[in-house]
Chain A
Amino acid sequence: MIGFVLFFVWLGFGGDYVWAVAGEGRHAFPWLGVILTLVAIITVRHAYKTGPEKVLWATGAHEIIDAQTDSERQLVNVVEEMSIAAGVPRPRIWLVPDDDPNAFATGHGPADAHIAVTRGLLRICDRDELQGVIGHELGHVKNLDVRLMTTLAALVGAVLLVRDGMGRMMRGGVPLRGSTRKSKDGGPLLAALLVLWILSWLIAPLVTQLLAFAVSRRREYLADTMSAQFTRNPLALARALEKIEGAAAPTMSIKRGTGHLCIADPLGRRFTNREGWLADTFATHPPMGMRISRLKGMGYAQLKKEGGLVG
């Protein structure tokens, strides 16, 4: 988050510097820098505040306040059980009307958390598996991942917006020619700075997106592990992941920007199942096979330890 603001400060003040040295429209006060910094701070605040609502609204989820059917009641019970295991307050529970199995968590932290599951998940998972999935989501809640991820989701959109606005301003207002010509006087340092600055602008959205991906992938493994710690039953989560993987259909109601919040990539992207640097850079989730095999590893280690009692 701070990185994001600093990045904008660099974009703004860097621009001012280039402008000032290049001698285009001399302004003593670094307007661009100040404005962009303010924009960045406001965006971050706004994204932080309204993120959860937006995410939930975008998926068309409705909150379960008074459970009606048996499966809803079971869901509420499972969530309450797992929040006891995790030692966090009970989050608010939402149901997404979608037949594809998936789940996600959002919110600002343990005190203000939301967990949403799709109808499809309730249909295909038994009680133990549901426990594993909810444990995974509560792992995200407890790690404060939800705060980070939800804000990142809102930021990716914001950066795109600002970039487009700036691009229009530059084309319409100040001719870039002027500054490049003048930069000869300023020396190669200025030219390098200018190139770097323009490059930063071009890659800004990409950087934010990649940041979201990188954060997301590492956190998935951690949340899987925490789920195993809460339920003491990693094999159930492994089974649930296999079922979710088997369903494969894209989750229609979960949009692209929020993909990294979910337990499984809602787009069912091919990336997710591959390894290698491309997948490592662009996938929001680690390969499902890797996650399942890690969980199974935990499960068998546990069985081995208890082997004296069982066998």
Chain B
Amino acid sequence: MWVLLIVLVIAGLWVVGAYNGLISLKNQTVNAFKQIDVQLKRRHDLIPNLVNAAKGAMNFERSTLEAVIQARNQAVKVNASGPEAMKEIGQAENALTGALTRFMAVVERYPDLKATGNISQLQEELSSTENRIAFARQLYNDTATQYNTKQQQFPTTLVAGMAHATPTELWEIEAPAERAVPQVDLSGR
């Protein structure tokens, strides 16, 4: 009789622990996703500054600059939500990353341009922003993976239904061309 009671209590405690663990992971995942948004917003806000600073210094290479502006405006417009959101945001942002990479490559090609203080400062800001986005995604993917693994593993999977835990999608780079883009080294050496 006593043994049964003790076993029941232990089982109950375990259920509470596992449930709370799942909920906590779920919220962490949601938060990590929001962090990506915050960083993307930061990038969108930074680009007008960058373009303004570069405009005076580079009357040449207009098309590169314009591509950045266009990609940025496109990315700002995406305001989707739901399961499709991640895909749409991802596409727009990847396009922006591509445009920025080309822009930075152009800047690299003109040492005079780099020498002006403003640009090198903005370059640092930009490379930092790119890193922030990358790290925010990394954190999201790590957290989501942990969440997904936890809810699929036995015995936690028994509680997964109760906690309404469903596997979340990871943030992936879709186009193989994007994958090939090397990380631009913008460290102000």
Query: Closest residue of chain A to B186, judged by CB?
Result: A127
Interface of A, secondary structure class, is: helix
Report if B151 contacts A (CB, 8 A).
no
Report if B148 contacts A (CB, 8 A).
no
Which residues of chain B in 136-163 are interfacial with respect to chain A, using CB atoms and an 8 Å cutoff? 136, 138-139, 142-143
**Chain B residues within 8 Å of A126, by CB:** 187, 189
Report if A85 contacts B (CB, 8 A).
yes
Q: How many A-B residue pairs have CB under 8 A?
A: 48
Nearest CB in chain A: distance from B114 CB, A: 13
**Chain A residues within 8 Å of B35, by CB:** 84, 87
**Chain A residues within 8 Å of B28, by CB:** 87
B187 touches A81 (CB 8 A): no
CA distance A78 to B6 in the complex (A): 52
Nearest CB in chain A: distance from B49 CB, A: 15
Contacting residue for B138 out of A70, A73, A127, A232, CB 8 A: A232
Binary contact track A70-101/B, C-beta < 8 Å → 1, others 0: 10011001101110111100000000000000
Report if A170 contacts B (CB, 8 A).
no
Residues of A at the B interface (CB closer than 8 Å) are: 70, 73-74, 77-78, 80-82, 84-87, 126-128, 229-230, 232, 309
Residues of B at the A interface (CB closer than 8 Å) are: 28, 32, 35, 39, 120-121, 124-125, 127-128, 131-132, 135-136, 138-139, 142-143, 179, 187-189
New A-B contacts (20) at CB < 8 Å, excluding given A77-B131, A84-B132:
A70-B120, A70-B124, A73-B124, A74-B124, A74-B128, A77-B124, A80-B128, A80-B132, A81-B128, A82-B135, A84-B35, A84-B135, A87-B28, A87-B139, A87-B143, A126-B187, A126-B189, A127-B127, A229-B142, A230-B138
